[in-house]
Structure 1
Amino acid sequence: MRLHRLAFLLALPFTAAAQRPDPLHGFDAYAEQARKEWRVPGMAVVVVKDDSVVFMKGFGVRELGKPDSVGVHTRFGNMSTTKAFTAMLVAMLADSGLLRFDDPVAAYVPDLRLADPYVTRELTVRDLLTHRLGFPDPYYLWDNTTLGFDEIVRRLRLVPVASSFRSRFAYNNVGYGLAGTIAGRAGGTTWQTLLRRRILGPLGMTETAVDGAELAASGVTDVTAPHGIVRDTVRVLPASAAVIDPVAPAGSMFSTASDMGRWLRFLLDSARVNGRRLVSAERFAELFTAQQIVPPEEFYPTMRLTRPHVAAYGMGWFLEDYRGEFVAFHTGSIEGRSAIVGLIPDRRLGVAVFTNLDHAEVRHALMYTVFDRYLPAQARPHDWSAELRTLYRAIADSATQRRRDRDAKRVTGTRPSLPLDRYAGTYADSLFGIATVTRDGDHLTLQVGTQTGTLEHWQYDVFRVHWRDPFLGTDDVAFALDPDGVVGALRFVDAPNRYQRSR
C-alpha cells in the first residue's frame, strides 16, 4: 500500500507538468482572426520565452490578389524597429572604446550646423538616440525626395527650433541617421557593414537585409508588398523598399520572423549568443534605462487602455509599465509596412509582429495578447484586437469629422485672383527644395520631390492637391501675391513647406 502511495506521489509533479496549459493555446486562431479583422493581407509573428522560440508562423499572403503565402522566411520591413539595432551598435562601440554615448556629435560630423549654435556645440550621441534635439523629424528632407544624406545634414542648419534643447521628446529619424553614420565612422566603415559584422553575423541573421538597396540587389523574391487603405479599400502601394534608405539607421532593415526570433533570444539573454556576451551588462542596461519622458501626445493611443504609470524612451526603445511589469518595445511604420518588437525582460518574454499594411495596429493587439498569456490570469481577460479596433476607429472617425468640419467652411463661388498661367513657375527654398507648378490643359500640376499631384481650385488662391499616389490623399496649398500682383510664394497649409517664386 505504501509503495502504491509513493508511486502516486512521485508521479504527481510530472502529471501536473504534462497537464499545465500551454499559454499560447488558441493564439494561432486568435492571430488569424485578428489579421482578418484588421484587414491585413499578410503577417508574421514570433514569440520567444526564456531561450526558446515557442511560436513562429506566417499568416495570409505577400501581396493582395496573388496566391503567394507568407512564411517564417518571408521578408518584411523592420522600419523603425531598426533603431534598436543602431543603438546596440553604439553600445558595442562604446564597449570597444571607439566612442562614448556622451561624445559630441561635432567630433564625428564637423560640418554639422544647427539653427542654434549652442545646440551644434553641445549635441551628443545620446541626444540623437533619445530624440531630444529640440525639433521633430524633418521628414520633408528624406521622404519622397532624392537628397543624399550629406545634403540632408547640410540643410539641418535651416530647420527651425521647436523647443529648448533636451526639454522635450520629439521623434527624429534624421537624428538616428546621424547616430548610425557616427557609429560607422567610429568603427572605420559604414553603418551597414558594421551592422552585418557586429550583429547580423554573430547572431546568424542570414535572412536580414540592412537596407532596401541590399534587398533589391539580393534577388530575393519572398518579400511582402506594401499595402495601405485608400478610400476604405486595401490597395497595393507603389512605395519603394528603399524609401528610408537616405536615413537608413532609422529604419531601413528588412527581416523575417525566423531571424527576429534570433534577435529576441539575444535580447532576452542580456546580449549573449551561445553564452558569449557581445555587449557589457552595464551598457546593455543603459539602452533600457529611461532617458527622456515621453508626453502623452507623443506616446501611443494604446496608453488610454493600458494606463501606464510611466512612458519614457531609452535608446532605441519605448519604455512603459504594463500590469506591474517593465516593458520595452518599439514600432515601425512607413508607407505600407508596419512592425512591433516588445519585451518583458524580467519574464524573458519577447514578441515580434510584422505586417504588410500601413500602421496596422493589430501589432499592438497581438503584443499585449502575448503578454497577457504569460502573466497571471485576469478576472476579465482583454480582447485586445476588439478593444484596439474600437479605439483606433474612434480616432479615425474623429479625424474624418475634423476634416469635414473644415471643408464645410469652404467659401464657394470664389475664383483665383489670376489666370492659371500666372501661377505656373518654379518655387524654391533652401530648406524645402524645389516645387514646380505647370499648366496642364485646364488645370495646374504640382511636383514636389518625387511626388506629383493635380491642383483643384478650392477657394480664393488656395488649391487642393490630389496626389497621383492615392495613399497620400490630398493637401491644400496657398499662393501669395506680391504687391505688384505677381504670384510670389507658395505654401502648404498643413505642413511646414514654404517656397518663394524663383522664375
Structure 2
Amino acid sequence: FRLKDPWVTSQVTVADLFSHRSGLPDHAGDLLEDLGHDRAYILSHLRYEPLTPFRASYAYTNFGLTAAAQAVADEKGVPWEKLAADTLYKPAGMNSTSSRFEDYAKAANRARGHVRTGDGTWRPEFLRNPDAQSPAGGVSSTARDMATWLRLQLADGKLDGRQIIDAEALQRTHWPESVARPPNAPAGRTGFYGLGWNVSYDDQGRLRLSHTGAFAQGAHTNVTMLPGEQLGIVVLTNTSPVGVADAVALDFFDIAQTGEISRDWIPLVDALYQQEADASRSKTDYARPPADATPAKDSDTYAGTYESDYYGRARVVADDGALTLELGPKPQTYRLTHYDGDTFSFRTAGENAVGLTGVTFTPDGKSFTVEYLNTEGLGTFTRTGATPR
C-alpha cells in the first residue's frame, strides 16, 4: 500500500483513512472494482490517484477505509472477515451477520437487491459481490442483528452485562475527525466525520451519529443514533437509493422529538440522490451524433492492445468493421458505437455506471481515453506494440 506522495504514505494512519482525510479523491478505487479487479490489485494501485492536501481535505473513499482495515487485519495475522467475526459478530451473538459474500449467497432466507427498470417497476436484476471492499461495504445482516449492534453502540460496547468492545476505543470512533460539510450559510452548521460515522449536533446540542450506505445495484441503508437519549434506528432496504431509508429515519426522530413528522422527507432526500446521479452523467449526448459527424477511420486503425498503469490492459477488437472494447481482468466486453471522428461511445455497466460514455482515440492511433474512467486523469490507455498505418 502506497499513496502518490511518499511523505503522506509514511505519515498516514488508520484514523486518517477511516475519517477520509488521507487526500485520496472521492470514491477512489471504486471503478477498478467495477471492472473486476480484486482487493489486492485495487489497494496496490491507489498510489496512482492524485492527492488533495493531507489532513486538510475530506473525500469519502471505500478503499481508503478498506486499506486501513486490511492493515489492522494484517497486523493481527488473520483475514479481515475473520477478525470482524471473532471480535464482534460472534461475541455479540450476531449469528446472521457476515463480512463474506459467500455467507450471504448461501443463506436460505436473503434479500435480493432491486433496481428500477425502464417501465418503472422494481426487479432483482443484479447480485453484487462486494468482497473487494468488504470492510467498507461488505456486511450482510438482519434487522435483529443490527438492533443488537445498536444496543452495543448505545451502551458503550456493553451487551447484556458483558463488555464486548472496549468503551474508550468505541467512544473514540464517535469523535469528530474531519470537516466533511462546511457550513454553507452564516447560520449553517458544520458537518463532521468521525471514524466511520457522520458526526453532527442537533438543535439542542446533542451528539448525532449517522451513516447512509447504498449500492446502485440494489441496497440502501441508514443508521442514526442520539447516544445521549439512548435512541437509535437502523433502516435496511433492498432497493437502489430513492431516499426511503433516510426518510424513515428522519420520520422516526421527528416523532420522538415532537410527536409528529415535520415534513415529507422523501421528495427532498430523493432529489439529492437524483442530483448526484445527474452530476455523474456525461454532458455529451452520445445517443445523438452531430448531423455533420466526421467519418471514423478504418476499424483496423483502432484495433490493438493497450495499457494503463492504473486500469491495466485493454483490447480493441475489430470484427467485420465493428469495434469492441475489452476492459478489466476477466475481461468485460463493450460494443463501440461511432459518434464523431475518432470518438465512439458505449453503455457503461456496474455499480458506478453513468449511461453512455465516450471513447476518444488520438489521430495517430497510439492511445485512447475513456471519459467516465478519466475523472482523475487516469483514463488514458496507450498502445503496446506496433502502431497501425
TM range (shorter): 0.7 to 0.9
Amino acid at match of 2:170: F
Partner of 1:267: 153
State how far apart, in whole Å, the 2-side matches of 1:257 and 1:444 are.
48
Q: Which moved more, 1:174-183 or 1:259-268?
A: 174-183
State how far apart, in whole Å, the 1-side matches of 2:228 and 2:207 are.
7
1:114 aligns with 2:3: yes
Q: Does the 8 Å contact 2:34/2:350 carry over to 1?
A: no
More helix by share: 1
State how far apart, in whole Å, the 1-side matches of 2:36 and 2:85 are.
26
Q: Does the 8 Å contact 2:113/2:238 carry over to 1?
A: yes
Post-superposition CA distance 1:478-497 (Å, at most 9, x none):
11123xxxx11111224322
Q: Closer, same or farther in 2 for the Cα pair 1:308/1:222, shift >3 Å?
A: farther
Amino acid at match of 1:493: E
Post-superposition CA distance 1:203-245 (Å, at most 9, x none):
11111121213323xx212122222234363454554442x21
Q: Does the 8 Å contact 2:286/2:356 carry over to 1?
A: no
Post-superposition CA distance 1:95-149 (Å, at most 9, x none):
xxxxxxxxxxxxxxxxx32211111111111111111111223235642234333
1:280 aligns with 2:191: no
Q: How does 1:452-467 map to 2 (within 5 A)?
A: 452-467=333-348
Q: Closer, same or farther in 2 for the Cα pair 1:364/1:347, shift >3 Å?
A: same
Q: How does 1:364-379 map to 2 (within 5 A)?
A: 364-377=246-259
Say which of 243, 246, 249 aligns to 1:361.
243
Amino acid at match of 1:246: A
Partner of 1:423: 302
State how far apart, in whole Å, the 1-side matches of 2:233 and 2:203 are.
17
SS at 1:131 equivalent: coil
Q: Closer, same or farther in 2 for the Cα pair 1:398/1:426, shift >3 Å?
A: closer
Q: Does the 8 Å contact 2:304/2:317 carry over to 1?
A: yes
Partner of 1:128: 17
Q: How does 1:216-365 map to 2 (within 5 A)?
A: 216=105, 219-231=106-118, 233-236=120-123, 238-242=125-129, 244-295=130-181, 309-324=189-204, 325-334=206-215, 335-365=217-247
Post-superposition CA distance 1:244-299 (Å, at most 9, x none):
211211111111111111111111112111122233333222111100001369xx
State how far apart, in whole Å, the 1-side matches of 2:89 and 2:327 are.
37
State how far apart, in whole Å, the 2-side matches of 1:187 and 1:266 are.
23
Q: Closer, same or farther in 2 for the Cα pair 1:344/1:202, shift >3 Å?
A: same
TM-score by length of 1: 0.68
Q: Closer, same or farther in 2 for the Cα pair 1:122/1:195, shift >3 Å?
A: same
State how far apart, in whole Å, the 2-side matches of 1:321 and 1:418 are.
59
Q: Does the 8 Å contact 1:365/1:388 carry over to 2?
A: yes
Query: Percent identity at matched positions?
Result: 28
Partner of 1:11: none
Post-superposition CA distance 1:433-488 (Å, at most 9, x none):
12222224443222222533221111221111124679932211111123xxxx11
Q: Does the 8 Å contact 2:241/2:273 carry over to 1?
A: no
TM-score by length of 2: 0.86
Q: Closer, same or farther in 2 for the Cα pair 1:196/1:441, shift >3 Å?
A: same
Using the TM superposition, give the Cα deviation of residue 394 of structure 1 relative to its aligned residue in structure 2, in angstroms: 6.9
Amino acid at match of 1:423: Y
Gapped runs of 5+ residues in structure 2? none
State how far apart, in whole Å, the 2-side matches of 1:455 and 1:462 are.
9
Post-superposition CA distance 1:129-170 (Å, at most 9, x none):
111111223235642234333332322222222x11111001
Amino acid at match of 1:356: N
1:172 aligns with 2:61: yes
Post-superposition CA distance 1:384-425 (Å, at most 9, x none):
224434x3487379659x867766995332234411222122
Q: Does the 8 Å contact 1:288/1:317 carry over to 2?
A: yes
Using the TM superposition, give the Cα deviation of residue 343 of structure 1 relative to its aligned residue in structure 2, in angstroms: 0.8
Partner of 1:384: 265
Q: Does the 8 Å contact 2:29/2:46 carry over to 1?
A: no
Partner of 1:188: 77
Partner of 1:437: 316
State how far apart, in whole Å, the 2-side matches of 1:469 and 1:185 are.
29
Q: How does 1:10-89 map to 2 (within 5 A)?
A: none
Partner of 2:368: 490
Say which of 31, 43, 46 aligns to 1:153.
43
State how far apart, in whole Å, the 1-side matches of 2:118 and 2:322 are.
24
SS at 2:24 equivalent: coil
SS at 1:294 equivalent: strand
Aligned-residue RMSD, C-alpha: 2.9
State how far apart, in whole Å, the 2-side matches of 1:416 and 1:184 are.
54
Q: Closer, same or farther in 2 for the Cα pair 1:148/1:356, shift >3 Å?
A: same
Q: Does the 8 Å contact 2:89/2:98 carry over to 1?
A: no
Post-superposition CA distance 1:62-92 (Å, at most 9, x none):
xxxxxxxxxxxxxxxxxxxxxxxxxxxxxxx
Q: Does the 8 Å contact 2:101/2:131 carry over to 1?
A: yes
State how far apart, in whole Å, the 2-side matches of 1:233 and 1:121 are.
50
Post-superposition CA distance 1:328-350 (Å, at most 9, x none):
11111122212111111111111
Partner of 1:71: none
Using the TM superposition, give the Cα deviation of residue 321 of structure 1 relative to its aligned residue in structure 2, in angstroms: 2.8
Partner of 2:290: 411
